[in-house]
Chains A and B, each alone.
Chain A
Amino acid sequence: MNNMTAKISGASVMGVPEKVRYKSPTARGRLPALIIFLPPALLLFTLFVILPMGEAAWYSFYRWNGYGTPTEFVGIRNFEVLFNNAAFSTALINNGLIIVVSLLLQVPLAIWLAVMLGKKIRGVVAFRLIFFLPYVLADVAAGLIWRFVYDGDYGLFAAIAGFLGVATPYVLADRDLAIYAVLAVVIWKYFGFHMMLFIAGLQSIDKSVMEAAEIDGATGWQKFRYVTLPLLGSTVRLSVFFAIIGSLQLFDLIMPLTGGGPSNSTQTMVTFLYTYGVTRMQVGLGSAVGVVLFVICVTIAFGYKRIFMRND
């Protein structure tokens, strides 16, 4: 993992700028290799990734229940419905909230832990393992576990409230609190992954820089503030990038916790797509959500890399 950050710049998400290396012309079997090796990938990818995406764009202009062929053209009506829908606005706000919380809480937490785990103290390696554990668990399992934790009758929150002698909170049933409860689980589940990014980022910092700072008499905090932090810039941007991507596809964790409720207060774009598009078989509306999601994803993939990660 030491050379991880070095490789980030090599392959970008979007493009492959380097030229394919020209191989020895004496090699035999160029055409058979192409004919055997390429079509399976091409077929699968076109059939199950590109065509469905194109179809989503097409269906989004129709009102359709998914049977026969779409005939009822409604223009941009689906998009109008979408942007006038209060639940969809909540979903967009929630997706944004997850990104903000990641930036304000998850990144500092991950850096703090990564710095501590970098110290030469016995036993810290075990902590690294524990912190990464939630990340490998399935979102559904994590969601159900936290549903138990938050449960007002049998869960840990009930016991804590009982111990403190206050009224039992039903956080997941509270319209104002539920989203924060979900955010806490998101951080619980993903901070270990971000911490790993920062551990790798810290390892790639040149030791001589730190030694120079020490010779100049920098204190621990000064070393962190003026040497470590600026050199972690690219890792911060990477970490936020993953948080954005993760936020945009958040679904598995929400379903067992709240299913998007109560009264749509914890919807995300994908749970909205599922609730209103899939379960009601409103193909047009669901596809319109897909198109919005696609446009946001592509804009971020190109824009974020171009604006924030151009030097990385």
Chain B
Amino acid sequence: MTDTSSTVRVSTATRLYVYVSLSLVAAIVLVPLVTTALGGFKTLGDLRLNPFGLPSEWVWSNYVDILFGERYWRQMMNSLIIACVTVFLTLVVSSMAAFCFAHIRFFGSNQLLNYFLIGLMFPAATAILPLFIRIRDLGLLDSYWGVILPQVAFGLGMSILLFRNYFRNLPEELFQAAFVDGCGYIRFFWYISLPLSRPIVATVGIVTFVSSWNSYILPLIMLNTESKYPWPLGIMVYRGEFGTDWQLVLAFITLTILPTIIVFFLAQKHIIAGLTAGAVKS
């Protein structure tokens, strides 16, 4: 920002320096990604001789086989189901609780809010063994619920905080008007708070979806049937199975991260804002 404020034009030398530096860093970011995608089009021999360049002969079968197989789609589907249910439950449960903390004063309300905020302080890994035993004793091992419920629970601290702060900043006059008209809390929540809260619903939704879509440790511990594996787990199994057939592994990696990359470029503004704001505000 050093120079944005000034009206002085950026000199050509500075411009060149900036372009060269940024391009260099961009190359370090992009080369691993691009070579991974290209690697999926090569034969193993080609990959060995020439991991950087374009394929000497474009082999489509690596990608085609994966796309026409059932495995890839099943993993994507598993991840999608787990992420969608996690997002839905998180939004419902945390917005309701946050509404109470924002608008209703009750005995011990501050203490109770602080209780939820304890969840912000440590990662799920800390309690992973007792969590495993609890899920096992509840009979939820090897089911989607065994992954979803802990994910929702560990996301509650941040989501409740984000929702509460947002609800509290809605204009006071809304309340007075609604209450004079005889509107109760529950109807107020449903008809006024929620419809006005789209930005924060989006933020919480994006943060929760991304972390669920990418999550690895919880499914790793809770699931043991391969047909239920979400993709981060599936991709590790795939790599274990095909070992040094890197061309297949690279094609598989490319296809699994493709949805993320497409969605990221389509909704980059919301995603960047959501992920940074979500982290910072909590």
Contacts and interface: CB of A to CB of B under 8 A. Distances in A.
Contacts of A48: 131, 134, 149-150, 152-154
Interface stretch (A92-100, A136-144, A170-178): A136-144
What does DSSP make chain A's interface, helix, strand, loop or mixed? helix
A141 B122 contact: no
B184 A210 contact: no
A130 B24 CA distance: 12
Contacts of B244: 153-154
A7 B126 CA distance: 29
A1 to B, nearest CB: 6
A136 B275 contact: yes
A79 interface: no
A242 B128 CA distance: 21
Given A129-B265, A278-B221, A255 B236 contact: yes
Nearest to A203: B1
A155 interface: yes
Contacts of B127: 49, 52-53, 55-56, 290, 294
Contacts of A52: 127, 130-131, 134
Interface stretch (B28-36, B55-63, B194-202): B28-36
Contact of B129 (A139, A140, A228, A287): A287
B122 A197 contact: no
Nearest to B39: A148
Given A127-B22, A154-B51, A207 B5 contact: yes
A260 interface: no
B22 A124 contact: yes
A138 B258 CA distance: 11
B2 A45 contact: no
Contacts of A248: 123
B42 to A, nearest CB: 10
Nearest to B109: A20
A139 B236 contact: no
B122 A133 contact: no
Nearest to A281: B129
Interface in A120-153: 120-121, 123-124, 127, 129-141, 144-146, 148-149, 151, 153
Interface residues of B, number: 123
A140 B162 CA distance: 28
B277 to A, nearest CB: 6
Contact of B232 (A66, A130, A140): A140
Given A26-B180, A119-B4, A133 B168 contact: no
A144 to B, nearest CB: 5
B126 A119 contact: no
B144 interface: no
Interface in A1-48: 1, 4-5, 7-8, 10-11, 13-16, 19-24, 26-30, 32-34, 36-38, 40-42, 44-45, 47-48
Contacts of A118: 1-4
A133 B103 CA distance: 38
A50 B134 contact: no
B1 A202 contact: yes
Interface residues of A, number: 122
Interface of A: 1, 4-5, 7-8, 10-11, 13-16, 19-24, 26-30, 32-34, 36-38, 40-42, 44-45, 47-53, 55-56, 59, 66, 112-121, 123-124, 127, 129-141, 144-146, 148-149, 151, 153-156, 158-159, 188, 192-193, 196-197, 200, 202-203, 205, 207, 210-211, 214, 220, 223-224, 228, 238, 242, 245, 248-249, 251-252, 255-256, 270, 273-274, 277-278, 283, 286-287, 290, 293-294, 297-298, 301
24 contacts: A4-B277, A7-B281, A11-B161, A11-B165, A20-B102, A20-B105, A23-B105, A24-B176, A28-B185, A29-B185, A38-B112, A45-B116, A53-B130, A112-B21, A119-B4, A133-B261, A145-B36, A145-B253, A154-B246, A210-B1, A220-B2, A255-B236, A298-B121, A301-B120
Interface of B: 1-6, 10, 14-15, 18-19, 21-22, 25-26, 28-33, 35-36, 39, 44, 47-48, 50-52, 92-94, 96-97, 99-106, 109-110, 112-123, 125-134, 149-150, 152-154, 156-157, 160-161, 165, 168, 175-176, 179-180, 182-189, 210, 213-214, 216-217, 221, 231-232, 235-236, 239, 244, 246, 249-250, 253, 256-257, 260-261, 264-265, 268, 271-273, 275-277, 279-282
